[in-house]
Structure 1
Amino acid sequence: MFTGRQSSVESMHASSPIIQKQKKHSARNRYSDAPLLCAGCGIKTELYIKESMRFSFSEIQLATDTFSKENLLGEGGYGHVYKGELDDGQLIAAKIRKETSSQGFQEFSSEVYVLSFARHKNIVMLLGYCCKENINILVYEYICNKSLEWHLFENVLDWNQRRAIAIGTAKGLRFLHEECRGSPIIHRDLRPSNVLLTHDFVPMLGDFGLAKWKNNDIPIHTRILGTLGYLAPEYVENGTVSVSIDVYSFGIVLIQLISGRKVVESNTDDHRQSLRQWAEPIIERLALHELIDPRLGESYDTCELYHMARAAYLCLKSDPVMRPSMGEVVRLLEADDDHLHNLVEQFMPRFSR
């Protein structure tokens, strides 16, 4: 798996301004003083790292027990992900790019760069990276409680957990769009499998391989990447990239949190129906009880459901100009009543009842 001829990656490493910025950091041995990341299992977070570190291949090999099957966490389009433990006790998730992966060095480099700036409690921390010949490895802090996708479809989240995950995910996106150093960052691939959870059900955004910097107000046009069902209409139609495409994707995830439904399902006539097609008329009729995951029964807060449904409806507007910012979405979800009234009057008068 880890053999192959010398590629051009090393020469790219030498010239890349992204990689040149990264250095080993003396804080690696201070993990024992770090605060808890998850109270449920006692995992700590390394908050002392200011820049991503460059790990040696031997360090990652040792941490993962030579990439043993027992440490394999999963496999996707990017490659394999392994759990590991550094010599100071820090638990890691090492994501190793497949040699045949369509996500090449550009995506690898983008993820290193973006996550070097994105330090937030709702964003997975990139601890560092490793480059060896044609092997590229991203080293993340280990997030202990699987993904939102697993908990939505293989488990049952209670209502309070769902709402907390919605708010935390929205805050992570707000940070990327409005608070990150430099320009806004567009994630471009928000979906439940890219939201990881701690045992305290704190959501953390991950997988930034498709992320884009937004340097000005001029829309970016690019090839279409991401996951069908979560892609905004303008992105599908002409490749237009703006922060609004993340807002749209969040609206889909929000409907999934409320309903427990997959992004595309078959109805009784075996006709495939998108989540948006199913949810919008229900919200417009204010029949919000029809949105609720039946596994929850009556165990949900009607007022909070109302706020979440309104936020989702606004996020899913076909016209990107009509979608709220993620800062506005956070206030909607947290039920900032004054702001809520003004926003609803502006964007969705029928919901002002």
Structure 2
Amino acid sequence: MALVFLKRRLRKSRVAMAPETSDGVAEILTAESLQYSLTEIQIATNNFSVDNKIGEGGFGRVYKGVLGNGQEVAVKRLSRSSVQGAEEFKNEIVVVAKLQHRNLVRLLGFCLEGEEKILIYEFVANKSLDYFLFDPENKRSLNWSRRYNIIGGIAKGLLYLHEDSRLRIVHRDLKVSNILLDENMSPKIADFGMAKICGVDQYEGNTNRIAGTVGYMAPEYTRWGQFSLKSDVFSFGVVILEIVTGKKSSDFHQSRDSEDLLSYAWNHWRRGQTLALLDSSIGDSYARNEVIQCIQVGLLCVEEDASKRPTMASVVCMHNPGSVSLPTPHRPAVFRSNGSENRVDELKVDQSNTQRTSAPSSVNDASITEPYPR
């Protein structure tokens, strides 16, 4: 797959050709690109000062920086010891540099000098959604109107990835910690290290490398390595349910005897107790029809059968109450009515690195990545 040529340059000079390496990173150096020097990045981050560090993940650390023109940026410095760092670096440049949407984090440039691999992103002021959603005090900043708009913004960002950009992209790691909030509390989807670029007419693929986050991965992906646009739809459904309820999906998986989040939401919905799912911190200031609609859309997105899940185009239409008639959800994936089903058994495919014979993916197989650090 050809690397994208980034459209602008910080400097007029063309980046020098570099010897080709086994991991393909040198290929990036032939591009006319937004390449920053290591010196520029060191100055921007006060030489990667601890005081500037704003997050840390499995592939390195993220620092807040200020460029020479005064622009605030997030500087993602990949770990030198990371075996998968080069692939992560390459994949994020290839994917993110082509994307321009208000609900996606924007890549501003990169630095590749010696063993240093650095990505420069726009700085997003208000950290990640989980910082607010799952904190008893911070969640009070998320009233219903704000949550409803966040759900709509994420949906529009995913629709752009799936249908409206020049590529067809499966994010593969959508979760609340990968949703950043700007100064207006508008959402921006981040972290494309696991993303897959599909052909224009391709809607699904296979991989032998099952990677993702417990509670967000679609069942067909955890069981057989099958990913598609509908895998993202499943993850989005989980995100909707977390935003509405204020409950972590992962908290449900810590007990083998309790319901999972999907079962919890489904049981309330089928008993006609949908409003009881709403996060109590919201109080009485909410639109009843919007809450019910969001829960129903969330349940439609987490259908066991991927073909029954809506497309993101349909979801965006559904987000306006009364605009379309919503189908009736079926029992969701990984349903547990009495705690007898064990989702961990499915995840052994990931944890044991067991491989399943499958058709090769049409794009480079991205490695596991940590959330875009907060």
TM range (shorter): 0.7 to 0.9
Structure 2: which 5+ runs fail to align?
1-18, 331-374
Q: Distance in 2 between matches of 1:56 and 1:75?
A: 22
Q: What's the counterpart of residue 261 of structure 2? A: 275
- Which of structures 1 and 2 has the larger relative contact order (alpha carbons within 8 angstroms, sep 6+)? 2
Q: What's the counterpart of residue 287 of structure 1? A: 273
TM-score, normalised by the number of residues in structure 1: 0.82
Is residue 90 from structure 1 mapped to residue 96 from structure 2 by the alignment? no
Q: What's the counterpart of residue 144 of structure 1? A: 125
Q: Distance in 2 between matches of 1:10 and 1:332?
A: 47
**Superposition pairs of residues 190-209 of structure 1, within 5 angstroms:** 190-209=174-193
Aligned letter for 1:344? P
Once the two structures are superposed, residues 144-179 of structure 1 have per-residue CA deviations (whole angstroms, 9 ceiling, x without a partner) of 001001010121111011001000011000000010
Aligned letter for 1:201? M
Q: Distance in 2 between matches of 1:241 and 1:217?
A: 11
Q: Distance in 1 between matches of 2:85 and 2:263?
A: 35
Once the two structures are superposed, residues 249-308 of structure 1 have per-residue CA deviations (whole angstroms, 9 ceiling, x without a partner) of 000000011000011335998734321121112122231112111111222210100110
**Superposition pairs of residues 177-256 of structure 1, within 5 angstroms:** 177-181=162-166, 183-215=167-199, 216-217=201-202, 219-222=204-207, 223-256=209-242
Change over 3 Å in CA distance of 1:184–1:269 after alignment to 2:
closer
SS in 2 for 1:236: helix
Alpha carbons 1:10, 1:132 under 8 Å: kept: no
More divergent stretch after superposition (236-245 vs 213-222):
213-222
CA RMSD of aligned residues (A): 2.4
Once the two structures are superposed, residues 192-242 of structure 1 have per-residue CA deviations (whole angstroms, 9 ceiling, x without a partner) of 111000121110000000000111436311111111100000000011010
SS in 1 for 2:105: coil
Q: Distance in 1 between matches of 2:21 and 2:104?
A: 27
Q: What's the counterpart of residue 24 of structure 2? A: 12
Once the two structures are superposed, residues 123-143 of structure 1 have per-residue CA deviations (whole angstroms, 9 ceiling, x without a partner) of 000001111222211100000
Change over 3 Å in CA distance of 1:8–1:275 after alignment to 2:
farther
Percent identity (aligned): 38
Alpha carbons 1:264, 1:273 under 8 Å: kept: no
Structure 1: which 5+ runs fail to align?
1-6, 24-52, 349-353
Of 104, 120, 137, the match for 2:101: 120
Q: What's the counterpart of residue 146 of structure 2? A: 161
Alpha carbons 1:9, 1:134 under 8 Å: kept: no
Q: Distance in 2 between matches of 1:212 and 1:54?
A: 24
Number of equivalences: 308
TM-score, normalised by the number of residues in structure 2: 0.77
Alpha carbons 1:94, 1:137 under 8 Å: kept: yes
More helix, by proportion? 1
Aligned letter for 2:288? T
